[in-house]
Amino acid sequence: MGTRKVARSEVRSYVNDFETKEYLRQYYASVEGDPDEELFTPFHRKQIEFYKKHSSKWDCKTARLLEFSGEERGEIELWKFEKEGAHDWSGHFKFAVNKLENMTGDATTSLNWRDRETLLRQRITEIIGCDICQDYALSRKQDPFNVISTSHTLEVICGTLFEYKAAVKKLVSLLKPGGFLTMFADECQTFYTIGQKKWPCLYITLEQVKEALSDAGMMVVVAEHKEASMEQLQNPTTSDHKAMLFVAAQRVE
């Protein structure tokens, strides 16, 4: 169990300044037609393939969501309990169920996208506070996890490779022996924007991510990256990422 505290060089602003609704509006309004669709679609397919391959080993009937701020947890609750003002995720469910799962050629269920959204609402049993920079990262004591997945997270909250490695160790400490960590991330990115505001990121490569995982006692089982198109590289809009990556690693028992 790692007890090292991650320095909070760039983290503080996420406490006060992160505008959840604006972030969702900018990055999750729609999925088809997104300028990065071609870049991220193969990774989402990889994730689905990974889960299909390994999920029979786990109880997949429940999911616990770890979220940093009260505002973000509130946003998920709005969606889970179908309250007014909730973000509309229907486009993402349609895309995931109709397009991505069909693309893998092995749809796991005959449920349509609406039923899948309802099922996920039911299966999320807890929404737990998580500050990966704290000695004990979770707001409530939890049984260890079979699998933890992150998306665009550690590289945007850690200021140095040292902090990044400590955060990976912290996540690994929350896993069962034999459990998996998957991460979907931007590679070689120094900033992304929300509205006019720039958010700093740690410039990190796939090799450094793999090194952090192996330092934390993980065996890397998937490590993929895809470079952004020349057009995206020449005209950076919402970020200066050079590529995206997906890794999956297993905690060595």
Ligand X SMILES: C[S@@+](CC[C@H](N)C(=O)[O-])C[C@H]1O[C@@H](n2cnc3c(N)ncnc32)[C@H](O)[C@@H]1O
Distance CA 60, CA 41 (A): 23
Beta strands in the chain (DSSP E): 63-67, 124-129, 145-151, 175-187, 191-194, 197-200, 218-227, 243-251
CA distance linking residue 47 with residue 209, whole number of Å:
17
Residue 125 CA, distance from chain mean position: 18
| Nearest to 16, CA basis, from 71, 67, 66, 65 | 71
Q: Which of residues 58-117 bind ligand X (CB under 6 A)?
A: 68-69, 72
Binding characters for ligand X, 156-185, by CB under 6 A (x = yes): xx----------------------------
Closer by beta carbon to ligand X, 78 or else 219: 78
**Which residue stretch of 44-52, 97-105, 149-157, 203-211 sits at the interface with ligand X (rule: CB under 6 A)?**
149-157
Q: Identify which range of 145-153, 174-182, 217-225, 244-252 contacts ligand X by CB under 6 A.
A: 145-153
18 is an interface residue for ligand X by CB under 6 A: yes
Pick between residue 128 and residue 221 the one whose CB is nearest to ligand X: 128
Position 152 contacts ligand X (CB under 6 A): yes
List 39, 133, 172, 248, residue binding ligand X (CB under 6 A): 133
Q: Is 186 in the site for ligand X (CB under 6 A)?
A: no
241 is a site residue for ligand X (CB under 6 A): no
Q: Does 153 bind ligand X (CB under 6 A)?
A: yes
Strand partners, 151: 184
For residues 163 and 154, is the Cβ–Cβ distance under 8 A? no
122 binds ligand X (CB under 6 A): no
Q: How far is the CB of 238 from ligand X (least distance, A)?
A: 11
Angle between helices 70-80 and 20-27 (to 10 degrees): 60
CA-to-CA distance for 206 and 122, rounded, in angstroms?
A: 35
> Could you list the residues that contact ligand X (CB under 6 A)?
11, 14, 18, 68-69, 72, 130-133, 151-153, 156-157
